[in-house]
Amino acid sequence: MEEAVSEKTEIKDEDSEDVLVLVELAGIIDSDFSERIIDKNYKILGIETENPIIQIGHNVFSGEFKDPLGTIAIFQEKPEESTPENKQLELKHLVSKKLRMKRTFINEKSQSSSGVSKN
């Protein structure tokens, strides 16, 4: 399962608040998917809805927001202080929202189907 951190902006009475969201992608076959998508553009549709959609390259994901049991801590390796035997980590983000996404295949819509199938 691949994970990434994204920012979500909530707008309330002309105030805006940035919220970090952990994005969990399921249904990926390639083990190096996260390395290949770093520089790719992505599109997020319906970020303020219950079921947003994310397109990364040719891959489409649909999902829902989940509240984790606790706060998710995201760490990053300190390359200048780390050795292969002794990796040093630093706290990068604390996240309290998770967006669980599943790979979705989009089909041409016919009269009897909705046009979306989840894998």
* Domains observed in the chain: 21-103 (2.60.40.4370)
Q: What pLDDT is attached to residue 39?
A: 67
Average pLDDT score, the chain = 79
Q: What pLDDT is attached to residue 8?
A: 54
CB 99 within 8 A of CB 52: yes
User: Residue 96 is encoded by which pair of tokens?
Assistant: 């309290």
Q: What pLDDT is attached to residue 65?
A: 92
Task: Give every residue of the chain whose pLDDT is below 70, as ranges.
Answer: 1-14, 29, 34, 37-39, 82, 112-119
* Cα-Cα end-to-end distance for the chain: 14
pLDDT digits (tens, 9 = 90+) for 70-90: 999 999 988 777 677 788 889
